[in-house]
Structure 1
Amino acid sequence: MAVALKAHVEHSSHGADQFVELYYKVIDTQRPVLNRFYRENSAILWNGNPYQGATPFSEFYNKLSASEHTVNAYDCHPLPTSTDPSSPGSMILNVVGSVKYSNEPTTRQFSQSFILSPDPKDGSFFVWSDCFRFV
């Protein structure tokens, strides 16, 4: 069991590294493809405003001013899967950082929590739940 847990932790950590790097790059430079991280059943809470699915959230986010995110720290941990302990399950990913929007004079601190789930089609992760909040 310890070997399986270690493998899940390593898989989650590697997935989190890749996700964080790509996600914030897309938000800042390629917003029209941001919806590829989500599914139509994804639950999104952006600073207290709920969105259900990729399309409504993408419509909202594409209206925001240009941004520049800086990730200060992130951490993740795997969630257990009951169906097959040897296959990777979902993970919780917590991110803290700052963001500067082009229409605002100051940089704002943020906290963002994701639940990432594996996509059975290709093994990548998609955002099942996303909670963003200015702090």
Structure 2
Amino acid sequence: MSTTVFTRDDIDISTRAADQFTRLYYSTYDSPARAEDLPKFYRPTSTLTWNGNPCQGVDGVKKLIQNMPSTKHEVQSYDSGNVTHGKSSEHPVTTPSRSVDGQPRVFFQTFMLVPDPAAPIAGVGEVAKYYVDADSMRFVG
């Protein structure tokens, strides 16, 4: 049985890839054009489980996003963050405490990223282009 040894460069490239992907993904998710742009992160074979509700492929993601209010994500680490839904995500206003609209919610999201064979090949030390093969998001607070 062989053991894979990761170098400091491997770890650095992985860290940069995670940072770049996370920034791009959530800025796209929070944009007004998200119903058109966010599905581009997925493929027809991709799976997404959003708070226990399964979606399949690009069309499933697009349908989910189209029915969701606007969002503002605040990533606190690579494994959790806060998300605010609704009109208050753009301009905070006073909302009733019983309403989810405008109230930040803690969530975690796990991505299984796969190098995109259609993307240009990354050079040595460069971050490859990825697509989301599997995605699981759940509210925790």
TM-score normalized by the length of structure 1: 0.78
Considering only aligned residues, what root-mean-square deviation do their CA atoms show, in Å? 1.5
- AA aligned opposite 1:114: F
Q: Deviations over 1:77-110 (max 9, x none)?
A: xxxxxxxxxxxxxxxxxx2000001151411110
Candidates 107, 115, 119, aligned match of 2:116: 119
Paired residues for 1:22-37 under 5 Å: 22-29=24-31, 30-31=33-34, 32-37=36-41
| Unaligned stretches of 5+ residues in structure 1 | 75-94
Q: Which has the larger radius of gyration?
A: 2
Structure 1 consecutive aligned stretches of length 4 or more whose deviation exceeds 6 Å = none
- AA aligned opposite 1:58: K
- AA aligned opposite 1:12: S
| Unaligned stretches of 5+ residues in structure 2 | 88-100, 120-127
Aligned equivalent of 1:56 = 60
Does residue 60 of structure 2 align to residue 44 of structure 1? Answer: no
* Mapped partners of 1:134, 1:62: distance in 2: 19
Aligned equivalent of 2:13 = 11
| Helix, strand or coil at the partner of 2:68 | coil
C-alpha displacement of 1:64:
0.4
- AA aligned opposite 1:42: S
Does residue 90 of structure 2 align to residue 106 of structure 1? Answer: no
Aligned length: 114
C-alpha displacement of 1:27:
0.4
Q: Deviations over 1:43-79 (max 9, x none)?
A: 11000000110111111112100110000001xxxxx
C-alpha displacement of 1:6:
3.6
Candidates 80, 101, 111, aligned match of 1:96: 80
TM-score normalized by the length of structure 2: 0.75
* Mapped partners of 2:107, 2:56: distance in 1: 21
| Helix, strand or coil at the partner of 2:67 | coil
- AA aligned opposite 2:107: F
| Helix, strand or coil at the partner of 2:30 | helix
Q: Which has the higher strand share?
A: 1
Which region of structure 1 is more displaced relative to structure 2, 44-53 or 6-15? 6-15
C-alpha displacement of 1:5:
4.3
Aligned equivalent of 2:72 = 68
